[in-house]
Amino acid sequence: MKISARAQRVDPFYVMEVAKAAAREAASAARPVIALNIGEPDFTAPPLVQQAAERAIRDGRSQYTNALGLPALREAIAGWYFTRWGHRVDPSRIVVTAGASAALQLACLALIDAGDEVLMPDPSYPCNRQFVQAAEGRAVMVPCGPEQRFQLSAEQVRSQWGARTRGVLLASPSNPTGTSIARDELQRIAAEVRARDGITLIDEIYLGLSYDTAFGQTALSLPDGLGESVISVNSFSKYFNMTGWRLGWLVLPPALVPAVERLAQNLFICASAIAQHAALACFEPESLHEYERRRAAFQARRDVFIPELNRLGLHVPVVPDGAFYAWADIRAAAARWGLAPGGARPEDAQSWRFAFELLRRCQIAATPGRDFAQADPGRYLRFSTASSLEQLQEAVARLEAAL
Query: If you ran DSSP here, which 8-state letter would residue 356 be given?
Result: H
- Tens-digit pLDDT profile for residues 140-153: 999 999 999 999 99
Strands 199-203, 230-235: pairing kind: parallel
The pLDDT of residue 334 is above 90: yes
Cβ distance 252 to 95 under 8 Å?
yes
| The pLDDT value given to residue 348 | 74
DSSP codes of every residue in 214-257: TT---GGG-TTTHHHHEEEEEESSSTT--GGG--EEEE--GGGH
What does each C-alpha distance from 53 to 60, 155, 272, 351 come to in angstroms?
Answer: 11, 47, 11, 42
Which of 341 and 225 is assigned the larger pLDDT? 225
Q: What is the pTM of this model?
A: 0.95
| The pLDDT value given to residue 13 | 78
Which residue type does 35 have? A
| The pLDDT value given to residue 344 | 64
Give dist(CA 249, CA 97) in Å, integer. Answer: 5
Query: If you ran DSSP here, which 8-state letter would residue 315 be given?
Result: B
The average pLDDT across 119-126 equals 97
8 φ, ψ (degrees, to nearest 5):
-70, -20
Which of 135 and 342 is assigned the larger pLDDT? 135
Cβ distance 374 to 122 under 8 Å?
yes
| The pLDDT value given to residue 308 | 98
Lowest mean per-residue pLDDT among 58-67, 250-259, 296-305, 342-351: 342-351
Give dist(CA 40, CA 52) in Å, integer. Answer: 22
Range 50-53 contact pairs with CB under 8 angstroms and sequence separation of 24 or more: 50/278, 51/281, 52/277, 52/278, 52/279, 52/280, 52/281, 53/274, 53/275, 53/277, 53/278
- Tens-digit pLDDT profile for residues 143-186: 999 999 999 999 999 999 999 999 999 999 999 999 999 999 99
Average pLDDT, the chain: 95
| The pLDDT value given to residue 249 | 98
Strands 34-35, 248-251: pairing kind: unpaired
The average pLDDT across 365-371 equals 92
| The pLDDT value given to residue 346 | 65
The average pLDDT across 347-361 equals 90
| The pLDDT value given to residue 26 | 80
Lowest mean per-residue pLDDT among 258-262, 296-300, 348-352: 348-352
Lowest mean per-residue pLDDT among 57-61, 65-69, 338-342, 363-367: 338-342
Cβ distance 135 to 112 under 8 Å?
yes
